[in-house]
Amino acid sequence: MNETNLPAEIIHGHEDTSVRSHKITAQKSVDRPGNYDANDFYQEFGTGVLEILLNQAQPTPDKESHFKRISLADVWTNPPPPQRYIWGERVPSEALTLLAAHGGTGKSLFALQLAAHVSTGADFLGLPTEQSKTLFFSAEDATNTIRRRFGSLCRVDGLDPAKVEHNLIVLDATDAPCLFHEVNILGVRRGQVTEHYLKLKAMIEAERVAFLIIDNASDAFGANPIDRQHVTQFVRVLVHLVRKIGGAVLMLSHVNKVTSRAGKKQTDSEGYADSAAWHNAPRSRLFLNATDEAGSLSLAHQKNNVGKKQPDMNLAFRVDGSSIISLDAGHANGMASVNALLREGYRLPLMKLIHEFYVRGENISVSANSPGTNAHALLKAEPSYPQGLNKANCLAVIRECERQGFIVRETYIKKDRHEAERWALAHDGLRFIGMDVPEHVASKGVRVEDS
């Protein structure tokens, strides 16, 4: 086949970015879509035509070199600006930070909470933020999940949702999550951005977004996760989205199998999965890990190529799971004060459960050693029981409620005519759970016949 036999459309005019080694050009017909590329061309005209184009195509000369020579002599007289961070010297500007965690640890909540604080310039977990226009690209959680999570965290963190939304864009990308994928042209596998990436790029430029959060890598990255070149390309095209404005990218990711299996007994330092490029390409890397069953977390700063790695942070979920709090910020008395603060949040659900059991005639023994009838044994299976609250902390909350006068030890007669003691809510306890106080309820323990 010679050039005269080729389709009329094959003339100079359109650069195809998917064939990077030759930059073939073709004039697009008016009836072809804007994303028509070499792969579409191959499907339409076949291998032979595309091979001729590849053999005949000449590289397009670059007007300017892609390399930039760095001025060194004037670093003292004209020093560069200091490194900026979006949050707490852990998320640097002009770079991508990888936040890795095992599934269900809370990384999506952490990232959404960070986005809300950055958009308003409010401190997050006791550390400063740089107020920035933020875009949260949710490829994992859909609209209703995001809205419920956002409403709860704004309420407990004292943020006005309307003010947050003024500087925060949240996208439900669950139907179009892939931003970078792999294409196969004539047996050659190449990585390239998708149409969704181009639409996201246009939005970021129009809105002047300076902080981009991608949740998460497994959904947005559609190429081979162990291909170092593809992973590195993906990281670079994400940073390119915000580099002109000096912004930052936070990308969420799952951990490898070894790290995941270790769970709370974590000794593995590789808080990333698949290729080592997931470690090498990001300039900063964070690892969020659950440390116990009571909702405690640790945030390790495992890498920082632009500054000093920061100390580990001790974190925890609020009792209702609405947001994450710092166990380091503002608590001079250390963990004892923090644990006391956390236990305060457990009081309401426990008091409500105790009263429900009492009304139904199910007696909760005041004895911690009663194997089947102590508070933890009876209440832990209830849906409203605080998640992760172990026996020791449950009984500690019960003791504190007794000291505060919320509950009393009530003596009653069992069916075998022997006396026993059960927990009952006092006047203050009933008021605490929002109930009216009936006249027959005493503020001290009384003998009651059990029917």
- The per-residue pLDDT for range 66-114, each reduced to its tens digit, is 789 999 999 999 999 999 999 999 999 999 999 999 999 999 999 999 9
Side-chain half-sphere of 148: how many Cα atoms within 13 Å? 7
**pLDDT band of 65, cuts 50, 70, 90:** low
| 121 and 157 share one domain | yes
| 269 and 169 share one domain | yes
Residue 334 belongs to a domain? no
49, pLDDT greater than 70: no
Q: Mean pLDDT over residues 382-392, rounded?
A: 84
Query: Which residues, at least 6 apart from 229, have a Cβ–Cβ distance to it below 8 Å?
Result: 191, 277
| 27 and 165 share one domain | no
122, pLDDT greater than 80: yes
Bridge partners for 225 per DSSP: none
60, pLDDT greater than 50: yes
Amino acid at 47: T
Residue 211 belongs to a domain? yes
Query: Which residues, at least 6 apart from 373, have a Cβ–Cβ distance to it below 8 Å?
Result: 363, 364, 365, 367
Using an 8 Å Cβ cutoff, are 145 and 136 in contact? Answer: no
| 305 and 241 share one domain | yes
| 14 and 92 share one domain | no
| 314 and 435 share one domain | no
Residue 432 belongs to a domain? yes
| pLDDT reported for residue 21 | 39
Using an 8 Å Cβ cutoff, are 125 and 85 in contact? Answer: no
Q: Mean pLDDT over residues 4-28, rounded?
A: 42
Side-chain half-sphere of 214: how many Cα atoms within 13 Å? 31
Stretch among 26-35, 251-260, 425-434 having the lowest mean pLDDT:
26-35
| pLDDT reported for residue 47 | 62
- Axis-axis angle for helices 195-207, 228-243 (nearest 10): 30
| 33 and 161 share one domain | no
**Integer Cα distance of 3 and 398 in angstroms:** 87
Residue 67 belongs to a domain? no
Report the range out of 21-25, 45-49, 278-282 with the highest average pLDDT.
Answer: 278-282
Stretch among 82-91, 274-283, 328-337, 405-414 having the lowest mean pLDDT:
328-337
| pLDDT reported for residue 435 | 86
**Integer Cα distance of 419 and 366 in angstroms:** 13
| 46 and 108 share one domain | no
The residue that leads in pLDDT, 237 or 256, is: 237
- The per-residue pLDDT for range 129-179, each reduced to its tens digit, is 999 999 999 999 999 999 999 999 998 889 999 999 999 999 999 999 999
30, pLDDT greater than 90: no
**pLDDT band of 55, cuts 50, 70, 90:** low
- The per-residue pLDDT for range 302-347, each reduced to its tens digit, is 999 999 999 999 999 887 788 999 988 554 344 455 556 566 778 8
| 227 and 367 share one domain | no
| 32 and 155 share one domain | no
Residue 72 belongs to a domain? no
Stretch among 3-12, 326-335, 383-392, 415-424 having the lowest mean pLDDT:
3-12
Residue 90 belongs to a domain? yes
Stretch among 41-45, 56-60, 164-168, 414-418 having the lowest mean pLDDT:
56-60
| pLDDT reported for residue 186 | 79
Report the range out of 32-46, 230-244, 376-390 with the highest average pLDDT.
Answer: 230-244
| pLDDT reported for residue 4 | 43
Q: Which of 279, 296, 326 is at the close of a domain? A: 326
CATH code, 188: 3.40.50.300
13, pLDDT greater than 50: no
Calculate the average pLDDT of the chain. Answer: 83
| 384 and 295 share one domain | no
Question: What is the 3-class SS of the chain, one letter each residue?
Answer: CCHHHCCCCCCCCCECCCCCCCCCECCCCCCCCCCCCHHHHHHHHCHHHHHHHHHHCCCCCCCCCCCCCCCCCCCCCCCCCCCCEEECCCEECCCEEEEEECCCCCHHHHHHHHHHHHHHCCCECCECECCCCEEEEECCCCHHHHHHHHHHHHHHHCCCHHHHHCCEEEEECCCCCCCEEEEEECCEEEEEECHHHHHHHHHHHHHCCCEEEEECHHHHEECCCCCHHHHHHHHHHHHHHHHCCCCEEEEEECCCHHHHHHCCCCCCCCCCCCCCHHHHCCCEEEEEEECCCCCEEEEEEEEECCCCCCCCEEEEECCCCCCEEECCCCCCCCHHHHHHHHHHHHHHHHHHHHHHHHHHCCCCECCCCCCCCCHHHHHCCCCCCCCCCCHHHHHHHHHHHHHCCCEEEEEEECCCCCEEEEEEECHHHHHHCCCCCCCCCCCCCCEEECC
367, pLDDT greater than 60: yes
Residue 91 belongs to a domain? yes
| 321 and 354 share one domain | no
Stretch among 37-46, 137-146, 236-245 having the lowest mean pLDDT:
37-46
Distances (CA, A) of 28 to 5, 23, 185, 194: 18, 15, 19, 19
Domain total in the chain: 3
CATH code, 392: 1.10.10
| pLDDT reported for residue 451 | 44
Residue 69 belongs to a domain? no
- The per-residue pLDDT for range 185-218, each reduced to its tens digit, is 878 889 999 999 999 999 999 999 999 999 999 9
The residue range of the domain holding 398 is 346-449
